[in-house]
Each structure stands twice: as structure tokens, then as C-alpha cells.
A and B are shown apart, each in its own frame.
Chain A
Amino acid sequence: MKKSTRILARFYVGIMLLLMYAPILVLMIFSFTEAKVIGSWTGFSWDLYPDLFKNKEIVTAVINTVVVALSSAAVSTILGTAGAIGIHYSGKRMKSALEGVSQIPIMNAEIVTALSLTILFVYFGVQFNFITLLIGHVVLTLPFVVLSINPKLQQMDPNVYEAALDLGSKPSQALRKIVLPEIMPGIFSGFLLSVTLSLDDYIITAFTRDTSFTTLSTYVYGVTSKKGTLPPTLRALTTIIFVFALLLLVLVNIRKGRSKGEGGKR
């Protein structure tokens, strides 16, 4: 391609990236000043960071968010791994039925999923508590675990499992020692995907939680709909989350880059 088009291409992609990061960068810059709203700089200060950790409401919300994300991802990963293996070895009819059901929460609008779960709990007179919230998040993330593991199962050489059986290992041993290591990358990315989906969720959380239980999403939604602009301490929180996400993404991709060297598609 011509040099002029190349410069134009770089300029265009650069501008788009800048726009994508504008809201986050602005928050990050203004996390170092105590101004009430973004746009007015009242001198450099670190104070929002200690303020953030002193704010019990925010700290609780963040801890709750992480607890929900990790526990729902753990449940989804276990259910989903067993499910994916089971589906893989099921007969044709069962397989397509289960794969079809897995597609429902993925294709469905999140608000419809949320409403349907709420109606289920109300219909059977279940009190909204941590368990209902957990179920909501497992519904949200479980199909994605199955989807991440499925390609690994299909790439697997079925003869190795049979060979293990021929050589005298029990089926459970063969599953543990042959199948699980083969699909481990899929399990790992399914778990990570579950965590990210759960951390980001607002709608299902808002519908299935006990209203006294706040997560980061419900907390931010609550304060922005009452006061309007984001409270200053949340600028510090955004900066911390961003740095954390950046580190995690770099780590995951270094790991992925390494395993790619050993051949095979993701």
C-alpha cells in the first residue's frame, strides 16, 4: 500500500484508540487532584487514594464483587467442565439438545434472563440472598465455560484415552490423567472469562441480589443516579482497576504466547 494511505491508516486507528481511552484517561489524570468534578484541577494530591480505602461502602462493594466473581466462576468451571466432557461423549440427540440449551443464555438478552430468574424465585417463594445472586451469575457464565472447553475436547486424540484404558487404567484415572490435562487451557480461559463477565455484570446482579448486598456495579449505579457525577474517590478506584487489568492482560497474553509456540490453535 502507498505510504500516504499507511499514514492515514495509522492516524485513523490512533484517533479511535484515543477516543476509546479518553474517559478512562481523564478519570486517571483527575484521580491525582481532589476537585469535586473532572475538568477543574485543584493541585496535585494523592489524597483520593487513602480516601478510597477509608470509604467502607466502596471497599465492601469491591470485596463483594470479587467474592461473587470468584465463587460463581468456581461453580461454573466445575459444572461446565463436567458438562462439556459429558456432552462430548453423549449421543447425537442429547448432544444437540444440550448444546442448544447452552446457547440460550448467550443469545438471550441479559434483562430477559434476569427477569426470568426473578420470576422463578418469586414463583417458588425463594428469598433473594447470596445464593440467588450466585445462581444468576452461574447462569450468565456457565455456557461460556462449556464453549471454551468444547474446542479442546474436539482437538483431543480419542485414541489416547482408549490406550490408557487398554493399558489398565480405570476410566476415572484416564479422565483425570489424560482428558483433564488436555483441556486445561480451555478450563483456564473459561474460568477467566467467567470472572470478567461476573465482575462486569450489572443487570443480573440488580435483579437477583438481596437489596442490602452491594457490588461495585450496583454501588456506582446508585450514586450516579442520585448525585449525578462520579464521586472523586471512584476516580482513584478506576485507576487501580485499570492498572490491575493491564497487568493481568499482559500476563495472560505472555502465557498464551508461550503456549502458542507449542503448536495448535487457541
Chain B
Amino acid sequence: MSKIKFTRKWLSLPYAVFMILFVVIPLVLILGYAFTDAEGNFTFRNLASLFGSASNVNTILVSFIIGAANTVICLLIGYPVAYFLAHREIKMPTAIVLLFVMPMWINFVLRTAATRDLLYWIGLNGGEHPYLCTMIGMVYNYLPFVILPLYTTMTKLDYSQIEASSDLGARPLQTFVQVILPMTAPGIVSAATMVFMPTMSSYVISDVMGERKLSLIGNSIQLYFDQGLWHMGSIVAVVMLLLIAVGMFATKNVQKEDDVRGTML
């Protein structure tokens, strides 16, 4: 019996080796690069020069604002869509949810460039309105990531509670704020985590839509990488990692929905 357990358990060995080699060690290396100089000596200078430069601080702030704005806008647009679909106000809700996710099967760069060309056609030029165009590109790209988890949560709602609340005399707004909103919190949290961090760290959308007129955290990592400034690139990546860890810690008690792309198949 013990020999059988031994063989089955060891099936995960190649997986474990691969993950240590290509996930854990690279992250350790990033940490190493972030806190060393070109000679390999330990230093906080990278961190100091990151927060000492106004343009870097500005990048982090802009990323934070764009990430937050994108999360809020996607939730505001996506929540009603998910709500109407889950309430069966519309026929064939699952098919329509799939329709919302379908554009994600067209290559991401191609899709983003198509959006830019369309905006250009209707007179919105990314060079002149980099922030507006980047925001449109972000919302366009991340909306499906919001609709799916919200929809999944809402289909599991206990409708008798909602009815009970209105039977007991709550106004529709009260029912929404005090009953529906708390019940859909897991969906909101998973949606937000799938939008906020990826927005801050993306650089393709801001590059293509904003014609390189604005810089997010992702852009600055990419730029340092292009210039061969590994140590600076790594310290920005470490800051990004810290933000992700904070986000994970803050939402660790909320039951989350699956990743969007997982629900599609």
C-alpha cells in the first residue's frame, strides 16, 4: 500500500521541478537584481532612485489611477449586463455571455490595433488624446473579465432573499444596496482583481492606444528591459509584486470565482 502511494505522489515531481526552475528561481533572481548594483553588491540605491525620480513616481500614480478608473468603469458597465442576463430578462443568457467573451479569441494585439483604427476613423486620435484612448482600450479589453465572474455569482443568488426583502417593505434601492450588493461581493472582488493589477502592469494597450504618450508600470519595466537596465527593471517588478501580494492578502477571505478564460471552456 505504501509503495502505491509512493508512485502516485511522485507523478508531480516533473511539475515541481519545472515550477521551481522557471517560476521560483526567476523570482528569486529578480529580488537579487533589485537589491544589487552592477558589481553584485547589496544596495538600496535602485529603490531610492526609483522613488527619487519624479517621472517614476508619476508613472506609479498614473498606473494606479488608470487601474482604479478602469476597474470602476468596467464594473459600472458590466454589472447591469451580468444582472440582466442572470435575471433571464434576455433569452439564451449563456450564449450571450459567450458572445461577450468571444472577441478575446481574436489576437490581443490585433484586437487592440483594430480598436485604435476604429477610434481614428471616428476622429479620436491616440496621439492627441492618449489618456482617453488608453482608457477606451482598457475598458474594451477588460470588460469580459468583469461580466463573466459577476454573471457566475449572480446565477447562484438566492432569489427568495431578494423577494423577502421587498416583501418586508424595502425600497428597490435599499434591496439593492443591502441585499443584492453584499450577495454579489465575491463576483465583484474577483472581477476587480482580474482588472486592476493587469491594467497597471499592461503596456501593449497604452503603447498602441496612447501612441507611447503615456507610461504605466508595465511600460517602465519594458523600457528598462530594452535599455538593458536589469537592476532598475527588477526593482519596478518587485514593487509590482508587492502590490499584487497586498491585493491577494486584502481579498484572501473572499470566495473568488474562476478565471474568465477557464469558464469559457
Enumerate chain A interface residues (CB-CB to B < 8 A): 1, 5-6, 9-10, 12-13, 16-17, 19-24, 26-27, 37-39, 79-80, 82-87, 89-91, 94, 98, 101-102, 104-113, 115-120, 122-123, 135, 138-139, 142, 144, 146-148, 165, 171-172, 175, 189, 192-193, 196-197, 199-203, 207, 216-217, 220-221, 224-225, 229-230, 234, 237-238, 241-242, 245-246, 248-249, 252-253, 256
Instruction: Give the complex CA separation of A119 and B244 in angstroms.
Output: 20
**A108 — which chain B residues lie within 8 A by C-beta?**
241, 244
- Pairwise interchain contact B11-A117, C-beta atoms closer than 8 A: no
Q: Which residue of A lies closest to B113 (CB)?
A: A224
- Pairwise interchain contact B12-A241, C-beta atoms closer than 8 A: no
Interface residues on B, range: 35 or more
- Pairwise interchain contact A79-B244, C-beta atoms closer than 8 A: no
- Pairwise interchain contact B107-A24, C-beta atoms closer than 8 A: no
Instruction: Give the complex CA separation of A26 and B115 in angstroms.
Output: 10
Instruction: Give the complex CA separation of A252 and B30 in angstroms.
Output: 40
Q: Which residue of A lies closest to B120 (CB)?
A: A229
Known A24-B103, A102-B19, A109-B201: A230·B113 in contact at CB below 8 Å: yes
- Pairwise interchain contact A112-B241, C-beta atoms closer than 8 A: yes
**B140 — which chain A residues lie within 8 A by C-beta?**
19-20, 23
- Pairwise interchain contact B234-A89, C-beta atoms closer than 8 A: no
Instruction: Kindly list the 5 A-B residue pairs having the minimum CB-CB distance in the complex, ordered from nearest.
Output: A86-B12, A83-B15, A116-B26, A109-B201, A86-B11
A-B contact pairs, 25 of them (CB 8 A): A9-B84, A9-B87, A10-B89, A20-B140, A26-B117, A26-B118, A79-B14, A86-B13, A101-B20, A106-B259, A107-B197, A109-B197, A109-B200, A110-B201, A115-B221, A115-B225, A115-B234, A119-B234, A120-B25, A144-B262, A147-B258, A202-B108, A225-B208, A249-B98, A252-B265
- Pairwise interchain contact A115-B9, C-beta atoms closer than 8 A: no
Instruction: Give the complex CA separation of A246 and B98 in angstroms.
Output: 10
The answer to the question of B248 belonging to the interface, with a C-beta cut-off of 8 Å to chain A, is: yes
- Pairwise interchain contact A245-B237, C-beta atoms closer than 8 A: no
**B264 — which chain A residues lie within 8 A by C-beta?**
193, 196, 249
Main secondary structure of the interface of A (DSSP, over half): helix
- Pairwise interchain contact A253-B107, C-beta atoms closer than 8 A: no
Known A83-B15, A98-B16, A220-B109: A253·B98 in contact at CB below 8 Å: yes
- Pairwise interchain contact A9-B90, C-beta atoms closer than 8 A: yes
B202 to chain A, nearest CB (A): 8
**B96 — which chain A residues lie within 8 A by C-beta?**
13, 17
Instruction: Give the complex CA separation of A142 and B19 in angstroms.
Output: 9
Main secondary structure of the interface of B (DSSP, over half): helix
Task: Tell which of A110, A138, A193, A220 has the most Cβ of chain B within 10 Å.
Answer: A220
Candidates A37, A110, A196, A246; contact of B117 at CB < 8 Å: A37
Candidates B10, B106, B225; contact of A238 at CB < 8 Å: B106
The answer to the question of B214 belonging to the interface, with a C-beta cut-off of 8 Å to chain A, is: no
- Pairwise interchain contact B107-A217, C-beta atoms closer than 8 A: yes
Known A101-B23, A120-B25, A122-B230: A109·B89 in contact at CB below 8 Å: no
User: What per-residue 1/0 map shows which CB atoms of B197-228 lie under 8 Å from chain A?
Assistant: 11011111001100000000010011001000
Q: Which residue of A lies closest to B95 (CB)?
A: A253
The answer to the question of B192 belonging to the interface, with a C-beta cut-off of 8 Å to chain A, is: no
User: What per-residue 1/0 map shows which CB atoms of B1-29 lie under 8 Å from chain A?
Assistant: 00011011111111110111011111101
6 additional contacts, CB 8 Å, given A144-B259, A144-B261?
A10-B90, A20-B143, A90-B12, A104-B27, A203-B203, A229-B120
The answer to the question of B73 belonging to the interface, with a C-beta cut-off of 8 Å to chain A, is: no
B248 to chain A, nearest CB (A): 6
Task: Tell which of B4, B109, B201, B218 has the most Cβ of chain A within 10 Å.
Answer: B109
A158 to chain B, nearest CB (A): 11
- Pairwise interchain contact B234-A200, C-beta atoms closer than 8 A: no
- Pairwise interchain contact B114-A23, C-beta atoms closer than 8 A: yes
- Pairwise interchain contact B18-A138, C-beta atoms closer than 8 A: yes
Candidates A116, A252, A253; contact of B27 at CB < 8 Å: A116
**A16 — which chain B residues lie within 8 A by C-beta?**
77, 81, 100, 143
- Pairwise interchain contact B103-A217, C-beta atoms closer than 8 A: no
- Pairwise interchain contact A200-B102, C-beta atoms closer than 8 A: no
The answer to the question of B111 belonging to the interface, with a C-beta cut-off of 8 Å to chain A, is: yes
- Pairwise interchain contact B26-A120, C-beta atoms closer than 8 A: yes
The answer to the question of B33 belonging to the interface, with a C-beta cut-off of 8 Å to chain A, is: yes
